[in-house]
Every structure is written in C-alpha cells, then in structure tokens.
C-alpha cells in the first residue's frame, strides 16, 4: 500500500524539526505606545466598528476587524484619518488550519508617515465586499486575489482572472496546489495547442524546470559524446575527441594564444 501523504498543505516542509524548539515571536507592542496609532484606533472604535485585536508590529499597526466591516473601515481611514493610499491587498491561505483566508489591506498615510494593516478572516466560501469603489487600486488587487486564491468578491465591476489564463482550473497560491502544477496544468498546453487526441503522442508537459534527462538529445548536448540534435543516444558510441581544432579536435574550438590577444586594462569611457 502507498504511504499516505497529507494533501491539505503540499508546500515544502522543513526537513528537520526539533520537537523541543519553540519558535520566537516578532515583538508585538501595545497600540497605546504610539500616539498616532492610538488615535486612529480610537476613530475606528468610535465608528462602531468591532475591533477584534490590535497591536503594533515592526512599526506598523495591525487591526483585526470583521469581514463585513471592511468597506466602512477603509472609508473611515481614507476620509477621516488620512490613509489615502491602499498599497497592497491580498490573502493568506489558512484553509488547512482554520478553514478560510486571512485578507489584509495595507494602508499608507502620507501626511502622518504611517502604515497600518487591516486584517479580517473569511471562511473558504464566504464572499467579501469589493473595496474598489474607494480605491481603484483594489480593482486589480482583488482580481489577483480571486485568481490566486479563489476568494469570492462581491460587487466587483470586472471580475476575471488576471495572471492565469481565463480557462484555467484551480487557484495556484492555495496550499493544496502543488508547486509543479496539478494534472490540469500538465495537459493544459497540449490540449490547447494540439488537441486532446495528441495526448498519447506528446505526453504531459514536464513542469519541473530542474529536471534533466541525460539521454535527451533535443535540448542537451553531452561533452565527449556529440550526437546530432534529436538523434538516438547510444552509450557504446565512440567518444568525440576533446582537443582543439589545431590538434585535430572539434571543429570551431580554437586554442587560446596569449601573445595574439589584447588585454584592455582601462576601458575608454
């Protein structure tokens, strides 16, 4: 019987783990320790927005809110608190551990020179409201979030995949999606270009870029066993001489003669 491998997270795992090792934490500070951030947090709380958790980490405030409050919070931050730019918006896949995604909104205030991050947690199939009416930058960011994670976004004007092809199956940044791509990915281009009937002739696409087939004469040449491109490689074949052209070796490889070459010490600028 084949050994069972967990499928919920197929990303690379640490090869060696010490069971007694406790990972250190990046220090979290109280929001009260920063005058500007505590004011912003107060403004959020005053607007009757539920703050689940708030702290300062690496000079930036992180605020956890409920997913249904995302538009109201961002609008408040933009209009009242001066956070005029949404630098980044994306998700973190927590499906295997917590059954959903953590969506974060990275905000920047140029007048206060402060950055803060609004975070909320949604279930795997739970939709989240689009914020592109507040920040146009969310238009593309939300498309990317849908494309990469399959997060469902409500009221987006042009919801379509952005990086992957429109007819792609699966969401590549999920932890369940293997690095080399899945079954669908292996046949995608073959089906698209040559048609399904050519599958047997062509075979699945090799999506492991590090793979080297030493008998492949299409893409690799072997020093000492020069074979025409695409020809069958025969291990019993006579070795190609590895000498210079002058010594009856490989044509076009000339020996280096120092007295005939010129060395430039300082380039003319």
Partner 1 sequence: MQNTNRLRPFFENITFDRDDNELVLNFGPQHPSAHGQLRLMLHLQQEQIVKAHPDIGYLHRGMEKMAENMIYNEFMPTTDRMDYIASSSNNYGFALAVEKLIGLEVPRRAKVIRMMLLELNRLMSHIFWLATTALDVGAMTVFLYAFREREYIMDIIEDYCGARLTHAAIRIGGVPLDIQDNFIYDLKVFLDKLPENMKDYEDLLDTNRIWLMRMENVGIIPTEMALSWGCTGPMLRASGVEWDIRKEEPYELYDEVEFNIPVSDKGDNYARYKIYMAEMRESAKILYQCIDMYAETQKNNQTELMAHAPQYISAPKLDIMTQNYSLMQHFVLVTQGMRPPVGEVYIPTESPKGELGYFINSQGGPYPYRLKLRAPSFWHTGVLTDLLPGHYIPDVVSIIGTTNIVFGEIDR
Q: Which residues bind partner 1 (CB under 8 A)?
A: 11-12, 14-16, 23-26, 28, 57-58, 60, 62, 84-88, 90, 92-93, 104, 106, 110, 113, 115, 117, 135-137, 139-140, 148, 161-165, 172-173, 177, 179, 267, 269
Q: What's the CA gap between 176 and 71, in Å, rounded?
A: 30
Q: What's the CA gap between 107 and 114, in Å, rounded?
A: 8
Considering the complex, what minimum distance in angstroms separates the CB of residue 196 from partner 1? 24
**DSSP structure string for 110-143:** TTTTEEEEEEEEEETT--EE--TTT-THHHHHHH
Residues 6+ apart with CB under 8 A from 11: 175, 179
Considering the complex, what minimum distance in angstroms separates the CB of residue 204 from partner 1? 18
Nearer to partner 1, 104 or 187 (CB): 104
Burial of 260 (0-12, 13-18, 19+ CB in 10 A): exposed
Q: What's the CA gap between 172 and 91, in Å, rounded?
A: 13
Q: How far apart are the first and last CA of the chain?
A: 69
Considering the complex, what minimum distance in angstroms separates the CB of residue 245 from partner 1? 29
Q: What's the CA gap between 134 and 74, in Å, rounded?
A: 8
Considering the complex, what minimum distance in angstroms separates the CB of residue 247 from partner 1? 31
Considering the complex, what minimum distance in angstroms separates the CB of residue 101 from partner 1? 11
Nearer to partner 1, 24 or 235 (CB): 24
Nearer to partner 1, 44 or 62 (CB): 62
Considering the complex, what minimum distance in angstroms separates the CB of residue 228 from partner 1? 32
Considering the complex, what minimum distance in angstroms separates the CB of residue 260 from partner 1? 24
Nearer to partner 1, 108 or 227 (CB): 108
Residue burial 216-230, b: 16+ Cβ < 10 Å; e: rest: ebeeeeeeeeebeee
Nearer to partner 1, 85 or 240 (CB): 85
Q: What's the CA gap between 89 and 118, in Å, rounded?
A: 9
Nearer to partner 1, 2 or 12 (CB): 12
Nearer to partner 1, 31 or 217 (CB): 31
Whole-angstrom CA distances from 179 to 53, 185, 199, 203, 209 are 33, 11, 22, 20, 11
Nearer to partner 1, 41 or 217 (CB): 41
Query: Taking a C-beta distance cutoff of 8 angstroms, is the pair 51, 45 a contact?
Result: yes
Considering the complex, what minimum distance in angstroms separates the CB of residue 178 from partner 1? 9
Strands 128-129 and 153-154: parallel
């Amino acid at each position: 019987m084949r050994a069972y491998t967990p499928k919920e997270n197929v990303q690379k795992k640490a090869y060696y783990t010490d069971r007694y090792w406790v990972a250190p934490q990046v220090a979290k500070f109280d929001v009260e320790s920063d005058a500007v951030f505590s004011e912003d947090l107060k403004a959020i709380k005053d607007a009757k927005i539920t703050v689940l958790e708030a702290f300062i980490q690496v000079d930036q405030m992180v605020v956890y809110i409920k997913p249904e409050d995302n538009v109201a919070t961002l609008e408040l931050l933009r209009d009242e608190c001066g956070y005029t730019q949404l630098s980044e918006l994306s998700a973190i896949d927590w499906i295997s551990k917590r059954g959903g995604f953590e969506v974060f909104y990275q905000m920047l205030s140029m007048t206060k020179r402060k950055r803060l991050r609004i975070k909320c947690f949604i279930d795997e199939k739970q939709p989240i409201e689009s914020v592109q009416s507040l920040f146009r930058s969310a238009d593309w960011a939300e498309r990317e979030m849908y494309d990469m994670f399959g997060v469902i976004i409500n009221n987006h004007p042009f919801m379509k995949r952005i990086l992957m092809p429109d007819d792609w199956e699966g969401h590549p940044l999920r932890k369940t999606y293997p690095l080399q791509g899945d079954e669908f990915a292996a046949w995608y281009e073959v089906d698209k270009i040559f048609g399904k009937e050519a599958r047997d002739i062509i075979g699945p696409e090799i999506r492991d870029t590090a793979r080297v087939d030493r008998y492949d004469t299409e893409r690799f040449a072997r020093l000492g066993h020069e074979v025409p491109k695409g020809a069958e490689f025969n291990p019993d074949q006579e070795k190609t001489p590895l000498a210079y052209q002058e010594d009856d070796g490989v044509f076009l490889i000339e020996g280096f003669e120092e007295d005939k070459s010129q060395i430039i010490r300082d380039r003319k600028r």
